[in-house]
Amino acid sequence: MSIEHVLEQIKQADIVKRYGRVNRSVGLLIESKGPEANIGDVCYIYTDRSKRDYVKAEVVGFQDQHVLLMPYEQTNMIGPDSLVESSNRSLTVEVGEQLIGRVLNGLGEPIDHQNIPSGLEPYGVESEPPNPLNRPPIDEIVSTGIKAIDNCVTVGRGQRMGIFAGSGVGKSTLLGMLAKNSDAEVNVFALLGERGREVREFIEHELGEEGLKRSIIVVATSDQPALQRIKGAYTATAISEYFRDQGYHVNLMMDSLTRIAMAQRELGLASGEPPTTKGYTPSVFALLPSF
């Protein structure tokens, strides 16, 4: 690369850092004047003037030249005129084989009190689905290790399945049995909208040490903001896609899609979408096929 080319790049570089300011906060939404950002970009809302502490948020829309932000975290420390900085990129997670056996939050960050693994690769959370003509036909049987399913409800590799039942009848127990007994090489669990105490009960009682050894668990409990619960589903899907691309046989299990739909309804109503079928907004029905 020549010196002239480098000098030309320096001349064209934008060296001015632009911030926005929080203008309004109503319910789940934070409205700011600026910065320049696109829908899906991650922004940092600084809670002090030193810019050391911040809350992560995502651009979900625009209104009257204002940016509409939805936080990933609690917003207790955000006030009027808080600075808003755009990262100019969408959410990514760090993935790799080192994550097997770990517990992550909805943003892909470890929450199991262990060090962050080294050697991970960044992976986009919202990737394009594969070309439908490139998808192989479902012609290979998957052994779940559960005789009632293998004999009566045969499962094919690449197939989607739904478990529908009332509360307390064994859905989580069944998921734990699938993780321990199926022939999948990696299990990815998304526990979304669960009560906090149920997460540890599932890991210790239903999954157990044997199941955890080949599993990755993504957790976004019911006390987390709606956006983090939704991103937990995207994060689990992205991790599954990464291992799929590496040639692994992966089981992706979500508990539950109903709570994801409820979280998206919260986000849609806060953004001004009209409620349609049973109070769910149109974005809910566009979201669910992504998983």
Domain architecture of the chain: domains with CATH: 3-90 (2.40.10.170), 92-290 (3.40.50.12240)
**Residue 40: count of CB within 10 angstroms of its CB:** 13
- Residue 15 has a pLDDT of 63
CA distance 84 to 36: 10
Backbone dihedral angles phi then psi of residue 155, each to the nearest 5 degrees: -110, 135
Distances, alpha carbon 94 to alpha carbons 109, 116, 221, 226, 291, in Å: 8, 10, 21, 22, 19
Tell me which residues of the chain have a pLDDT lower than 50. Answer: none
CA distance 198 to 195: 5
Q: Are 208 and 180 in contact (CB under 8 A)?
A: yes
- Residue 242 has a pLDDT of 92
- The angle at the Cα of 24, spanning 226 to 39, to the nearest 5 degrees, equals 55
- Residue 162 has a pLDDT of 87
Q: Are 45 and 30 in contact (CB under 8 A)?
A: yes
> Is this model's pTM higher than 0.85 or not?
yes
